[in-house]
Every structure is written in C-alpha cells, then in structure tokens.
Structure 1
Amino acid sequence: MSRTKRFILPRLYFLKLALAKAKLKIGIRLGLVRSLMIMPYKGFGNENEIHFVVRVIRDRGIGISQLEDSSWRNFKKMYKRFMTWQIPGARVKATFHGMEQVSETDEEGYAEFHLPITASFVPNGLWHEVQLSLLDQIIPKQGEVRAENRILMPSGNVEYGIISDIDDTIVPTGATRIWEMLKTTFFGNAHSRVPFPGVSAFYQALAKGNDGIESNPFFYISSSPWNLYDFLMEFLNVHDIPRGPLMLRDLGLSREQFIAGSHSEHKLLQVEKIFEIERHLQFILIGDSGQHDPEIYLQVIQDYPGRVKVVYIRDVDPGRHAALEKIKAEVRALGVDMMLVTDTTEAARDAISRDLIVDSDLFKIEKSKSLDEKKED
C-alpha cells in the first residue's frame, strides 16, 4: 500500500462510518427506521463446527418478484437492496441444537459465527436450522427480531461436492461488459434472468451423482455484492437449481481498499475456505473463461492435490483459447482434466464418461436444454 493510500484511506473510511452513524441516528429519531431484520446467509460446516454470516439492517420489505414485474418495479427493489441502513454494534444470538453463541455486528452490520458442535449431535440430512435473535433494543417499539438460517452439513452418502461460479457460468450476465451487466442486474428479476440452457437439469444430475440420491452438496461463489444475496437465491429457487451456500463479497470503501478486492482474490479465498472446512470431500469445479476462473482453479489444484475430480469451464471468451490451452496442460500435469465446454450437454456427456452422473440423465438434460432454447426464441 502506498504512503498516500495509507494516509487517505483510513480517513475516508472514518468519514464514511461517521456519516453512516449520523444517518442511522437521524433515521431512528425521524421514524425512518421502523423495523429491523436479521438477514441470514446460508452457511456450512463439518462434524466439528459450523460457519455462517448474518447482517442486521433495516427491514427493506422487498418481498419476492413476479414474472410480470415491470422494469421500474425491478429497479425500485434493486435500489432498496443497495440503499441499506446497516446496524453496527448489535448483538445477535445463534442457537443450534442446545448450543449458543453471541456475536456483535461490525461497522457494516455483519456478524460472523463459528459455532462448535457437541459430540452428541448426529447430522441427519444435508440441511440444518439455526435460530437467530437480536438481543439489543435499537429502535422504539422494536419487538422481537428473529430469523432462521440454514446450514449445509455434508455427511453420509456423499460422492463429491460441487463449487460453481454464477456470472456467465450459470446465467449470462455480461460480466465482461459493464453496461450490459448493470442493465441486466438493475432492471431484471429472478424470473426474467434465464440460465444457460440445460443448466438446471445438469446441476440436478450432479446433485444426485451416480447413485441417484440427491446428496451431493453445492457451493456457489460470485463477485457480486452481498446486497444481491436474496436476489440470487431467489433466482436459483425459481429456476430449480440446487440450493447451496452462496459466498459473495462486500463492495465499497473499507480500511484496506477504496472499492473492492479483486475477483481472483475473493474467489480463491472462498474456494479454499470450503476445501478447508469440507476436507473429507473431493470437488467438481465449474466456472467460465471470462473472469480468470481457470487460473483460480489451477491454484486450488496446486494447493490441494488429489481434491479435485474435474474442472468444467464454459467457453465465453474465444480470445483466451491460447492461454486456456496452456492452463489446461498445467492442470493435466497435476492429474486433473480441465474441460473447455461450449454448452451444458457437452459437460454432461463428459460427466457420464467419468461416472459422475448416470446415462439416463443425459436425455433429461438434452430435453431441458431444448425447452430452454425454445423459451429464449
């Protein structure tokens, strides 16, 4: 960090916090903050501990989207997502099967939990509930503020885990074209944004694996901000894409950065966090060629030998083919195949050849892809 940046950055961040504090104080006094909410972000864990994050903010009252929502209505909802009133210094209690932990929100309203699990707890199924409650009185006539979070705990009959990017991997976003990405984000909704043809059926097949039991866990990583969390989770639900924890990032001014850390740094950190916590699993890695996913996954394979079964990269940037061939060769030398695919069925056929999914799923994927393509027309 340069001397100028070291001098300016902490002062700008202090000013940002002071303005946010003043805004919240005035908002409460004027009655602009009438109700609060705990925003839970799905977590994950192992037999020893669970990890998750929550955020305490003003209740935005966004609700779910509808297919017929206008561009203006979509824009208003997106505006609410970004114009947040975060609540710093608030204590949140998490309760999980008799265990409790209290964590205090930071300057941006986030609270992180690392909750140990007692030896008597035996996981039953993939998903488990954590009860959340706000302990502090922040606004007049607040009442109880509660929420429930869902925690993914892979156990039992699991063949492998899947880590997938979202932007230009699951759904076309134009992540490499800023204006197109902004237009898609702010004026669309979970219904109007459509996945690449066949993605839903392919991911459902991976969730079932080769034994037909839907027990293989999904983890999603995106460089989008946490403000879009509910939007992206609704998108996955609307399009029948297997649910899983979604790791996003906090954009904007912080103690260490003016805007945000790089896509590569964020994604590598989150993938390696998953590998560290779910250390009993091997993984399939899925990404695209537009935002350095191949380079990130190469680093993961180097750092965690024997943990990656195969890598699927959606080809969205033909200009990178020469660089990708070099990366593929490096990955192959480490004993892993990186497959550059043009569509979902190509990845599905390769997955069948590796006994990752069953033959009968190919028909479903091809049919789904065909139907999705007709919808686009």
Structure 2
Amino acid sequence: MTLFEREPRLVPYFGYRNTHGLRIEARALRNREPRWDHSAKWRKIRALLDHFASREEPRLPVTLLVRSPDGITARYEGVTNDEGFVAFDIALDNWPMPPTTRWETVEFHWATREGPQRADGFVLAPGTDTDRAIISDIDDTIIETGVTGGLRSVLRNWNRLLAQMPAERTAVPGVDTFYGALAGGGEDGAHTGEAGAELRATRHPFFYVSSSPWNLFSYLVTFMKTRGLPVGPIHLRDWGFNRATLGSSSHGTHKVDAIDRILAFYPEKRVLMIGDDTQGDLVAFSHVAAHNPGRVAAIFIRMAGDTHSPEEQAAKKRIADAGVPLWTGSAYDGGQAFLEEIGLAHDGEAERIVAAAERNDKKSAAI
C-alpha cells in the first residue's frame, strides 16, 4: 500500500495543563505506524525513511474529548493545517491540580473511509507537592549524536539516524542516574502512548525542548523509555529546507520561545534547565534567566565540544548577574554531586547554591 492509498492516522503529542488551560497537539499522517524493533539493517533504514517520508493530511476535521475532574466531558473541534498539525489551546474553569504529578487521558476522534477512528492523548498535570520543573534539551544532552567531531562525526551521525533503532542509540553516560535524581521518584502509570510503552509520572515534571523535527517524536519517546528516562511533553520543530530551520541562530530562538511559554504557563514553578554546548543552549538559557528573574533555579550545561566562545563567556556572565547557579562539566557524575550540594534548594538558600556553582565552575575551567 502506498502513502497515497493509506488512510490518515492521528499521532497525538504529549500535552500539559494547569488550572486554567490545557494544551495539546496532534498530527495527521498517511504513513504506517512506526516499529522500532527491526534487526535487519535494510529494514531499519526502510522504517526510518518511511517515517521521514510521511505524507501529511491537511484539512482533516478532528474532535477532542476532555473529561473534567467531576466527570463532565467537553467536546472541541479542530481542523489540521497544511502540514497536518492540529492544536488545541483550551480554557479550563479552575480545574484543581492533582496532589502529585500524573498523566491524564483525552480522546481524539476523526473519520476515514473505514469509519470512525480514535486515539488516546496524554496530558501532563504537575502536582501541587512540588514547585520545581525540569526543562531539558535532547541532542547531546540525553542522546549522543556525534556532531561535535568534524565531518566524519557528522556523517557517522547520519548513519545512526538512518540505520539505528532507538534501543541501539547511545545515551549520554550517567544521564539515567542524574535524571532519576532530578525526577524525585514517582509512580508507574497505566497509560500506553504512541511509542507503545507505559508512561511514568515523576514527582518533578519534565519538559523537553529540541530543534529535532516532529517526525522523531515516537523515536525519541521510545529511546527515553528504553533508557528509563523521565517522559514529558516534547517541543520539537516542523522542519523545512530553508534558512528559518537550518540556520544556527534558529536553534536558540526556538528553545527560548518554547521555554518562555512553559514558564508563563506555570508561574508558580521554578525550573532547572539542562543542555549542552553544541547548539547554543548556554546562550539561550542565559537569555531565559535574564528575562525571567527568580524563575530559574539552576542551569546545567554538559560540555561536549570546544572551549566556550566569547558569546558563551558573555552568557555565563549574564547567568551570574541573574544570580542563577551554573554547572558546566563533561560528565553527569559531577552534575550529580552538584545537584546534591544545592539540594533543589529553595529561595532562602540562594547564596549557598550560588557559591556551590562558582566553586564547580572554577573546577571545570581548570580541567
């Protein structure tokens, strides 16, 4: 069956809500549902190429059903755009947040020639027992890409992207332990999503912001689950072969905009931001810290590339001026020690965690 013969399926992305609003997106595609368990190399390449060669379904009517905490179901209508995306930004009437972070279920409905179709979507509801959230990059922060070692490394990365299943990709060493400590525990959920794995809600909610294309959503979620990493809403990009998506400056702009939206949506939360030095995360995070005083609890930057540039040195000063603790190091075991030292501290301990960050930064500079 060709792409043009297949009926459109809907891929729900992870949503999130607060007491006054709920946001969730989905995409209508005509490619087959992905499988990430192939062993033959040609099947791996075919699966990944098929995933990238997806045909979007525009102008598809989509219905979203949302059930309130008191059991009342509300119905919302949407239509996919030219790229197959449909977004719902719904006003809620003071819905209470759960005491602990959890995933909630919504329903997407649409119709094909085969009849009515349905897919469950999942919405993260941060608990009231924490005032922290974690915002993380993906490439070279949790999954190694090899893009920092010249042309050969870039070519090797394309081989990984086109011929390796998620379970075969290399996680950044120590990320599972480090993120497990940041997560603060949690309980297993009973929800099964696009990637075919149960979603686990952690005490401190996680959000991911990346410049990777939306086509990789299922691939990345599967990778996170196979590595035992916290799963959360993922902000990706709709790629095009143009300056807007391929230019180096667009990486930082996309991330700053996405993080600012999260901060505005959860004004009661302070965030810890985690990234690396391969796509301008230090600079992007510095602008977030400067524009959102008191909202950033700490910044962690994994050093995967060269020594900091003058622009990055200016970013470090901007972060220091904002009074935000900064950790820079090549291995997360050092970040783990720093995390234990700052103890996810509250505002009253700001001087101590800033001092800890300065000591750690001096150690990193001396290496």
Q: Is the 8 A contact 2:3 2:55 kept in 1?
A: no
Give 3-state SS (helix, strand or coil) of 2:88's partner. strand
| Contact 1:46–1:278 (8 Å) recurs in 2 | yes
1:179 to 146, 155, 161: 155
Instruction: Please give the alpha-carbon distance, in whole angstroms, between the structure 1 residues aligned to 2:63 and 2:147.
Output: 37
Deviation at 1:338, TM superposition (A): 1.6
Give the structure 2 partner of residue 118 of structure 1.
93
Task: Name the residue aligned to 2:107.
Answer: 131
Question: For residue 271 of structure 2, what is the aligned residue in structure 1?
Answer: 283
The residue identity in structure 2 corresponding to 1:74 is K
CA distance in 1, matches of 2:81, 2:74: 23
Return the alpha-carbon distance in structure 1 between the equivalents of residues 252 and 19 of structure 2. Answer: 29
Distance 2:88 2:257 in 1: 18
Gaps (5+ residues) in structure 1? 1-26, 358-377
Q: Which amino acid aligns with 2:160?
A: T
How high is the TM-score relative to the length of structure 2?
0.81
What displacement does 1:165 show? 0.5
1:120 and 1:278, CA in 2 relative to 1: closer, same or farther beyond 3 A?
A: closer
2:349 is matched with which residue?
A: none
Question: Residue deviations 1:105-163, cap 9 Å, x none?
Answer: 000110011122233555464211110001x44xx3x2222111111111211141000
Match of 2:357 in 1: none
Q: Is the 8 A contact 2:207 2:234 kept in 1?
A: yes
1:218 and 2:206 equivalent?
yes
Contact kept, 8 Å, 1:311 with 1:338, in 2: the verdict is yes
Aligned Cα root-mean-square deviation (Å): 2.4
Distance 2:336 2:225 in 1: 21
Partner of 2:230: 242
> Given the alignment, which residue of 332, 347, 353 partners 2:335?
347
Structure 1 residue aligned with 2:20: 48
Supply the distance in 2 between the matched residues of 1:144 and 1:59 (Cα, whole angstroms): 18
Q: Is the Cα–Cα contact under 8 Å of residues 173 and 332 in structure 2 kept in the other structure?
A: yes
What corresponds to 1:156 in structure 2? 128
> How far did 1:59 drift?
4.3
Using a 3 Å threshold, how does the CA distance of structure 1 residues 318 and 257 change in structure 2: closer, same or farther?
A: closer
Query: 1:74, 1:188 within 8 Å by CA — same for their partners in 2?
Result: yes
- Equivalent position of 1:203 in the other structure: 179
Does the residue aligned with 2:24 lie in a helix, a strand or coil?
Answer: strand
Who is 2:318 aligned against? Answer: 330
Q: How many residue pairs were aligned?
A: 320
Structure 1 residues 231 and 272, CA, compared in 2 at 3 Å: closer, same or farther? same
Greater Cα shift, 305-314 or 197-206 = 197-206
1:169 aligns with 2:141: yes
Q: Structure 1 residues 34 and 241, CA, compared in 2 at 3 Å: closer, same or farther?
A: same
By relative contact order (CA 8 Å, sep 6+), the higher-ranking structure is 1
Which residue in 2 is equivalent to 1:34?
6
Name the residue aligned to 1:99.
74
Moved >4 Å (runs of 4+): 256-261
Q: Which amino acid aligns with 1:61?
A: E
Conserved? CA contact 1:45–1:278, under 8 Å: no
Identity over aligned pairs, percent: 28
Give the structure-1-normalised TM-score: 0.79
**1:319 alignment partner, SS class:** coil
Q: Determine the structure 2 residue equivalent to 1:317.
A: 305
Residues 1:339 and 1:325: Cα distance change in structure 2 (over 3 Å): farther
Q: Higher strand proportion, which one? A: 2
CA distance in 2, matches of 1:32, 1:323: 48
Instruction: Tell whether the 8 Å contact from 1:167 to 1:175 is kept in structure 2 after alignment.
Output: no
Worse-superposed segment, 332-341 or 122-131: 122-131
What is residue 86 of structure 1 aligned with on the other side? 56
Q: Decide whether aligned partners of structure 1 residues 48 and 342 sit closer, same or farther in structure 2, where only a CA change above 3 A counts.
A: same
Match for residue 40 of structure 2?
Answer: 70
Query: Which is higher, the Rg of structure 1 or of structure 2?
Result: 1
Against the structure 1 CA distance between its residues 203 and 273, is the aligned structure 2 distance closer, same or farther, given a 3 Å change threshold? same
CA contact (8 A) 2:41 2:163 kept: yes
Contact 1:37 1:146 (C-alpha < 8 Å) held by counterparts: no
One-letter amino acid matched to 1:183: N
